[in-house]
Structure 1
Amino acid sequence: MAVLSSPNQTGSKPAGATRLQRYFPFLDWLVHYRQADLPGDLMAGLIVAIMLVPQGMAYALLA
């Protein structure tokens, strides 16, 4: 009978950090986020907020 070890037992990360990344996966890529991408990401978020959220609410009223 073989005993399988979990990937969290490698010793590279503390157990608390692994648990946080399991519940908040954005923390993993947030460390590697480039500030040069911020203006484009803010523009995309603004477009979604201004255009698509009201459009979705209008479709919901029709349903």
Structure 2
Amino acid sequence: MTENTSKLEIKLRAKGGAGQSTNWHWEIVNATGEVVKSGSAVGVEARAFTTARVARDKLVKAEAKAK
């Protein structure tokens, strides 16, 4: 699953487990393909994606504040 907003893309992968104990690894990648931030979450896919989205939103907000 990927989502592209403000030139930052979220990439989400299942690394192991099943159901409620699935281990998800997420990366936030910029337009040039460099990993800006990464992390992991345990649980359902929606929870892992929300964790990554919050991190991306914080990066976008910090970037806008710096301008």
The answer, yes or no, to whether TM exceeds 0.5 is no
CA radius of gyration, larger in: 1
Higher RCO structure (Cα 8 Å, ≥6 apart): 2
Which protein has the bigger helix share? 1
Which protein has the bigger strand share? 2
